[in-house]
Amino acid sequence: MSSIFGKLFSVSTFGESHGAGIGAVVDGCPAGLPLSVEDIQPDLDRRRPGQNALTTPRKEADKVTILSGVFEGRTTGTPIGLFIPNEDQRSHDYSDMQNWYRPSHADLTYDLKYGFRDYRGGGRSSVRESAARVAAGAIARKVLAQACGTEVLAFVSSIHDVDAKVDLDSVTLASIEASLVRCPDGAASARMEAAILAAKQDQDSVGGVVTLLIRKTPVGLGEPVFDRINSNLARAMLSIPACKGFEIGSGFAGSRLRGSEHNDTIYFADGSYHTRSNRAGGTLGGISNGEDIVCRIAFKPTATISQSQETASRDGQNGTLAAKGRHDPCVVPRATVIVEAMASLVLVDLFLEQRARFGLFGK
């Protein structure tokens, strides 16, 4: 089972939802980067469970420890070890799921593939694993910010049937974090909260969409064939638990336009090239063009709900299951920082590859 992401800046995550803890090993981070727990913890605090009534009541402080790779406040260029303990497991909540498969969860496919699984909270398939990605992504985010001023933001743009109206130019981290659902549209945010609480009351769940906004992306990241920046972003986002869709720029809506309506016209000003619109979403031919990268990532309703549902058991019996345990009625608000982390990991890997190929003589 591979748990490694990235080439030059690679991340290997480890641990299970109900084990001793989770963590990551980051290999390939350049030496000399100022780094401390304070650079990582804020992102983990945004992802952690038990934040408010809209999230799972599981209480985890998610306090990260840097085990290696940092000396006197700077990275050494050696592997960076990160560890986050699990402190509030309730494994007995999952005893019924030892033999019964939760609908729309990974229980069935894990058993079919491996013939064995950790049924406590889903093991590696639990969104708890994403805390390790967020910790590693915080390091990638700092490399990008210091090297080229790149800003990576993600916000909730829809929950269930509630859509936000957001001016991308006005989005800030503060405006996102001012909302419990991490939506910078105040009116829509209130309706989204109501939709989540209504689903929770009904022992149900809802899904939604996260919009990813990347500013000041270096020009030239990505390759024109298999390692396109958009294809790498898509792979990263679709690896997040509960993610069901990805689009960049105009996405599927662009398929309804004519070329004359869709094309982004180009002009030259202030020593660089620009486009008058951004339907391409910041990429052309798989390579970043310097415009903002804009993506949308769809998340399904949380699979584990407390309503009784038809299912089958490991021994082939049909029956019903009302899942126990503590679960988010909507994963989308906490998914924003996971989206940011995975985007940062993609970009820093492509940035280091670009520097390795062309940094010797410049461009």
Higher pLDDT, 96 or 244: 244
SS3 letters across the chain: CCCEECCCCEEEEEECCCCCEEEEEEECCCCCCECCHHHHHHHHHHHCCCCCCCCCCCCCCCCCEECCCEECCEECCCCEEEEEECCCCCHHHHHHHHCECCCCCCHHHHHHHHCCCCCCCCHHHCHHHHHHHHHHHHHHHHHHHHHHCCEEEEEEEEECCEECCCCHHHCCHHHHHCCCCCCCCHHHHHHHHHHHHHHHHCCCCCCEEEEEEEECCCCCCCCCCCCCHHHHHHHHHHCCCCEEEEEECCHHHHHHCCHHHHCCCEEEECCEEEECCCCCCCEECCEECCCCEEEEEEECCCCCCCCCEEEEECCCCEEEECCCCCCCCCCHHHHHHHHHHHHHHHHHHHHHHHHHHHCCCCC
pLDDT 10s digits, 113-125: 888 777 776 777 7
339 phi and psi angles, rounded to 5 deg: -60, -45
Residue 125 has what pLDDT?
79
- Pairwise pLDDT comparison (320 vs 50), residue with the higher score: 320
| pLDDT score of 261 more than 80 | yes
pLDDT of residue 2: 79
The pLDDT of residue 14 is above 90: yes
- Of residues 303, 305, 316, 302, the one with CA closest to residue 100: 316
Answer whether residue 363 shows pLDDT above 50. no
Which of 50-54, 83-87, 332-336 ranks highest by mean pLDDT?
332-336
pLDDT of residue 304: 85
Does position 88 have pLDDT exceeding 70, yes or no? no
Specify the pLDDT at position 359: 57
Q: Is the pLDDT of residue 320 over 50?
A: yes
CATH architecture of 4-358: 4-Layer Sandwich (3.60)
Instruction: Give the Cα separation of 124 and 17 in Å (integer).
Output: 7
Average pLDDT, the chain: 91
Q: Who has greater pLDDT, 254 or 107? A: 254
pLDDT band for position 361 (50/70/90)? very low
**What number is the average pLDDT over the span 237-256?**
96
Whole-number Å distance between alpha carbons of 312 and 100? 6
pLDDT for position 95: 63
Average pLDDT estimate for 242-256:
96
How many Å apart are CA 204 and CA 303, to the nearest integer?
Answer: 9
Question: Is the pTM higher than 0.85?
Answer: yes
Query: Once rounded to an integer, what is the mean pLDDT over residues 316-321?
Result: 92
Q: What's the chain's Rg over C-alpha atoms?
A: 21
Residues 61, 78: Cα–Cα separation, whole Å = 27
Hey, which of 52-56, 115-119, 226-230, 321-325 has the most confident mean pLDDT? 226-230
Binned at pLDDT 50, 70 and 90, residue 360 comes out as very low
Segment 128-184, tens digit of pLDDT? 899 999 999 999 999 999 999 999 999 999 999 999 999 999 999 999 999 999 999
